[in-house]
Chains A and B, each alone.
Chain A
Amino acid sequence: MAGRYTLYFGPQHPGAPGNVGFRLEMEGERVVRAELIPGFLHRGFEKMMENRKWENSYVLSYRFCVEDPDPFEVAYAEALDMVFKVDPPPKAKYFRMIQAEFSRIASHMFWTHFMLGSVGLRTPAYWALAAREEILKWFAWVTGHRIYHNFSVPGGIRSDVPQDFQSRTLDLTYRVEDLVKDVEKAVLGNRVFKRRTRGVGVIKGETALRLGATGPVVRGGGLAYDVRKLAPYERYDSVNFEVPVGEVGDAYDRALVRFREVHESLKIIRQAAMEVRPGGPYRVKIPLTAPPGRGYARVESARGEYTVHVTSVGGRSPYRVRFKSPSMPLLTTVLDYIIKNEEVTIADFPVVLASLDPCAPDIDR
């Protein structure tokens, strides 16, 4: 079809990244402009948290990214630690790291399923979900739930870890590593995958940073930008890990970075699990009312840097909570940049979307 026309893509579309829509301006097969239509997942977290007490509000703090909730949970717990001026016991800090890293792996595996769906490789997607399932089972065993864990609370962690925590956690890291290696081999070495992703969606790290993006999109473009290294929170300063980077900044590099990150996360978990033993203090009690002040936390989620800013004027509830959305620049400025600078056809559009790995609910909150 020649000439300009408008095409609506999503929210009810298998290639859409969750419940968001796009208004595409097309020229023949080529996408010349993509306008994001958000709002299908807006619940107004920032307002709802003002209505909740301090000890109730953290239940809401992580629910706006289902695929990767734990970094958000850890960030809010950290921000409240700052408001209440408490320092959680070291065990709790190490546990929060394990939780956040397992969540990152689960999120990257979920992304693999999504990415391969848009490329058309269904079999490794099944394997990736099997690896994620192992992690969800671990979460269900430790925290009592598969998806939302609500385990990092202000002042530490909600309860003590089970007796055989260390052995079972280490065992899991090796099992997950085996499964991930299979997926990695089937994806990164695959000719179809290479053809569909090499040279698609190119963006350099520095450019992406100027457009507001962080995370694997920046690292895939060759810039080792990671808050875990640059502004370490919890005990990330005491573990050894590397920040993997790509070269070209295309969809393939981003996939590469994500798979390497999984291995780095496993490394972190193995070191942190050594410090988490059952028994001993795991939580500092926090008072019912907070002192006036400010809470701020920065964490590296699976989609980039995430910050939370809590304003307290004293009393039983937060006065104002503000979240940063790591996915919003991905689907607005970064996507605009890619579409302007290369020829994205309608067939490549889901591949570009998936390779950015946006989390739709975190745009809307």
Chain B
Amino acid sequence: MASLLRRLVDWARSRSPWMIHYCAACGAVEFPPLVMSPLDWERYGYMPVPSPRQADFVAGMGYLTRKTVKLMINLFRQTPNPKFVVAGCNCTATGGLYWDSYATYKRLDDFFTVSGWVPGCMPMPDDWTALITDLRRQIYEGLKGDKLKDAEEFIARVEEGERKWREEYFAKPQPPVNYAFKETYPECEERYERVKLCVTSVRRERLKTALAELKEKGFVLLSNIDAVDYPKNGVIELYYFVENKDDSSQVALKTFVPRSEPEIESVHDLYPNALFIEREVYEMMGVVFKGHPELRKWILDGNWEGPPPLRKDVDTATYVVKTFYGGDKYGR
């Protein structure tokens, strides 16, 4: 009798597999067509639920950044038993296209046991349909679902190694400055008519006055800040792209900071969005913006503990292959 009841419960549960509504990565873009028109997954009893406490399974959809993995572990802990983990897309299985990315973990089954795989980049919607029929079978057969592996130890080990690398990196002496620079502002030194771009050079001491002048002339939009690292010359070049509100012509102000003392004045009082672009350049390139009210890790927070990854002498690809693939991937 009891077993009959259990089978009835399993049957009922298999007819309503609910997933945590968590759009973890690019694979999630195929879910609206799956769940809504034209494929209508609700006929399988599927529903995305906002709370993990109501869910039956959690799906990894695409690449797993380190921050996302930490969150997924958290979500998985809150899901009631029996719970299932499914892995969609190639990146959850092997690292996929982002095999040399310093900010992603390569395999979902380093962290959980996994009940279903959907290959492809991105998987076609029918592949997901095959997955859900299989998941329904697994729930109906009363399988116990998936477990968490010793994930936190792995994460802590990786992050500890990166912190050590960061210390070593900043303890190293910087090469001397060997760089030819001529101030040309306000004349253009390169001009590209088709994209309406004018490149001009200015020393870093005069950068802020030059930007203030340009802003007076109508260049009110700060489009972007680019930083290019030249370890051989011992400098980091900075490009400030500003845009005119009337004819949308752009000026790229080129300047440089020595790598031994990468400091420059913040321009957030002229351009409010510089606050965030500067913060990004700081964490990626290690350029310090003086006068910035909140210079801290932002995008890399929780993703990367090592030295500024966009510096040219930080070889993240070799590091990733050594740490996550045991030193052998694509001939590296």
A residues sitting closer than 8 Å to B (CB atoms) are 11-14, 18-19, 38-44, 46-48, 51, 59-60, 63, 66-67, 82, 110, 113, 125-127, 129-130, 132-133, 136, 146-148, 206, 209-212, 214, 225, 227, 230-231, 233, 294, 296-298, 305, 307, 309, 311, 319-320, 322, 324, 328-329, 332-333, 361, 363-364
Contact = CB atoms under 8 A, between A and B. Distances in A.
Contacts of A125: 36
Given A146-B124, A307-B241, 8 more contacts: A38-B299, A42-B299, A209-B220, A209-B221, A210-B272, A231-B248, A322-B228, A364-B65
A210 B212 CA distance: 14
B220 A296 contact: no
A21 B98 CA distance: 23
Contacts of B63: 43
The 5 A-B pairs of least Cβ separation, nearest first, read A212-B273, A230-B248, A322-B226, A66-B29, A324-B224
Nearest to B297: A39
Interface in B201-253: 220-224, 226-229, 239, 241, 243, 245, 247-250
Given A43-B63, A133-B37, A230-B247, A110 B32 contact: yes
A231 B316 contact: no
Highest count of chain A CB atoms <10 Å: which of B100, B195, B222: B195
A19 B26 CA distance: 10
B102 to A, nearest CB: 6
A41 B65 contact: yes
B156 interface: no
Contacts of B121: 148
Given A43-B98, A227-B248, A329 B273 contact: yes
B194 interface: yes
Nearest to B272: A333
A160 B263 CA distance: 50
Contacts of A11: 22, 71
Contacts of B176: none
Contacts of B192: 82, 296
Contacts of B20: 12
A364 B299 contact: yes
Contacts of A44: 101-103, 309-310, 316
B295 interface: no
Contact of A39 (B195, B300, B310): B300
B50 A14 contact: yes
B141 interface: no
Contacts of A43: 63, 65, 98, 101, 103-104
A132 B31 CA distance: 13
B298 A39 contact: yes
B264 interface: no
A297 to B, nearest CB: 7
B245 A206 contact: yes
A19 B24 contact: yes
B80 to A, nearest CB: 16
Contacts of A66: 26, 28-29
Highest count of chain B CB atoms <10 Å: which of A12, A298, A320, A328: A12
Contacts of B249: 231
Given A41-B65, A210-B272, A214-B221, A12 B98 contact: no
B157 to A, nearest CB: 21
A133 B38 contact: yes
B271 interface: yes
B271 A212 contact: yes
Nearest to A16: B23
A294 B190 contact: yes
Interface string B302-319: 110000011000001100
B114 interface: no
